[in-house]
Amino acid sequence: MIQTVLTQAVAASRPAAELGQTASYIPELSKVDKHHLGACVFTSDGGRYSAGDTKVRFSIQSISKVISLAVALELCGFETVFAQVGMEPSGDAFNAMGKLEAAGSSPSNPMINAGAIAVDSYLEPKISFDRMLAFTRKLCMDPEIGLDEKVYHSEMSNISRNRAIAYLLENKGVIRSDVERTLDFYVRMCSLSVTAESLAGLGLLLAGGGICPATGERLLSPDTVRVVKTIMLTCGMYDGSGTFAVQVGIPSKSGVGGGILSVVDRRMGIGIFGPALDGKGNSVAGERVLRHLSQQLHLHIFDADSQTD
C-alpha cells in the first residue's frame, strides 16, 4: 500500500519540476539537475519504502537548522536558546533582515537564517563541527554524510547577506560570540550532503521521540523533540508554512538544496529530494509528493482517519 502510493506520488509530481528553479544565489547549487525527484518513507514498524532518486547526495541546507536547534536545546537549554530568538512564523523570506533593524526586534524563529545563525552562535562555543557531523550521522543513521567542500566554498564566497544579518545581530546583542566563527559553523552545517534516505532516518528518529530506531539508543530528549517538531509545523516551510500546514499537515523542514524532512508523529519519517524550488525556496515537486501522500495515506495531523490507517 505505502509503496504503491509512494511510487504514484513521485510519478505524478515529477512534471512539476518544470515549474521551479534550482537555487542560484549559491552558484554550486544551480548546477544540480532540477529534474531529480526521490522520496523515501521509513515506518516505525521497520518498513522502508523508496521511489525515484533516493540515493543521490544533495546539500542539506536549511534542514540542518533542525539539527542545530535540537543540539542547542540539549547543550544550552531552552531558556538560553529562546531568550532572544522567537517561536513565531515570520511571514517573511528565509533570508529577510528588514524587520531586524527595528528597535527591540529579534529573529522570529530558529528556522529562518537570522534565528539559525543566532542559535549557532550559542552552539558553536560548546561543540566542534566535527562532533556535530558525527552526531548528524547518528541522527540520520547515515555514516556517509560528509561536508560538501564545493558547496561550502561556494556559499562562503557569497555570504554577504548572512554576514550582514550576523553583524546586525551582534550589534543588537543577540550574538555574543565570534561572528566569523559562527558564520563558518552555520555554512558548514548547511553544506552537509545527505540523501532522501538520510532525511527519512532523521524523520523516523523524531517521530519516535528521539530514540534511534536502529539501536534503541536515546539520542535526543523528549522535550527537545517536542519543541523541534512544533517549530517545524509552524515555521518549517518559511513563509509557506501556513498553507503547507493546511494542505499537507505534516511537520516538515525544507532547504534550498531541494530537500524536505517530514515527521508523521509516532508513525513515519519521510525524506524528499527535488531541487526545483518555488519562489519561497521550497521544493515544488517535493511539496506535491507530500500532498499526495498526506491525502492518500491520511497523514494530516488533524485527519480524522490518521490513527486508524
Ligand X SMILES: NC(=O)CC[C@H](N)C(=O)O
Per-residue 3-state assignment (H helix, E strand, C coil) for 167-179: HHHHHCCCCCCCH
Instruction: Annotate 206-215 with b (16+ C-beta within 10 A) or e (fewer).
Output: bbbbbbbbee
Whether 167 is a known active-site residue: answer: no
H or E element at residue 273: strand 268-273
Locate 242 and state its grid cell.
Answer: 501556513
Whether 90 is a known active-site residue: answer: no
Locate 205 and state its grid cell.
Answer: 528518529
Q: Which of the residues 194, 238, 252, 253 is marked catalytic?
A: 238
* Contact between 158 and ligand X per CB under 6 A: no
Strand residue runs (E) in the chain: 38-43, 48-52, 58-59, 146-147, 192-194, 252-254, 259-264, 268-273
Whether 262 is a known active-site residue: answer: no
Locate 262 and state its grid cell.
Answer: 517530514
CA distance 112 to 269: 22
* Contact between 13 and ligand X per CB under 6 A: no
Specify the 3-state DSSP secondary structure of 124. Answer: coil
Whether 62 is a known active-site residue: answer: yes
Binding mask 54-93 for ligand X (x = CB under 6 A): -------xx-------------------------------
* Contact between 281 and ligand X per CB under 6 A: yes
For residue 205, the Cα-to-chain-centroid distance in whole angstroms is: 14
* Contact between 113 and ligand X per CB under 6 A: yes
* Contact between 255 and ligand X per CB under 6 A: yes
* Contact between 162 and ligand X per CB under 6 A: yes
- Figure out which of the listed residues 94, 152, 244, 273 binds ligand X, where binding follows CB under 6 A: 94
Whether 138 is a known active-site residue: answer: no
* Cβ contact 247:293 at 8 Å: no
Q: Which of the residues 174, 186, 191, 194 is marked catalytic?
A: 186
CB of 8 to ligand X, least distance (A): 28
CB of 256 to ligand X, least distance (A): 4
* Residue 1 one-letter amino acid: M
Residue with Cβ nearer ligand X (61 or 106): 61
Locate 270 and state its grid cell.
Answer: 519521510
* Contact between 95 and ligand X per CB under 6 A: yes
Q: Which of the residues 13, 50, 59, 62 is marked catalytic?
A: 62
Residues that bind ligand X (CB under 6 A): 61-62, 94-95, 113, 155, 162, 190, 255-256, 281
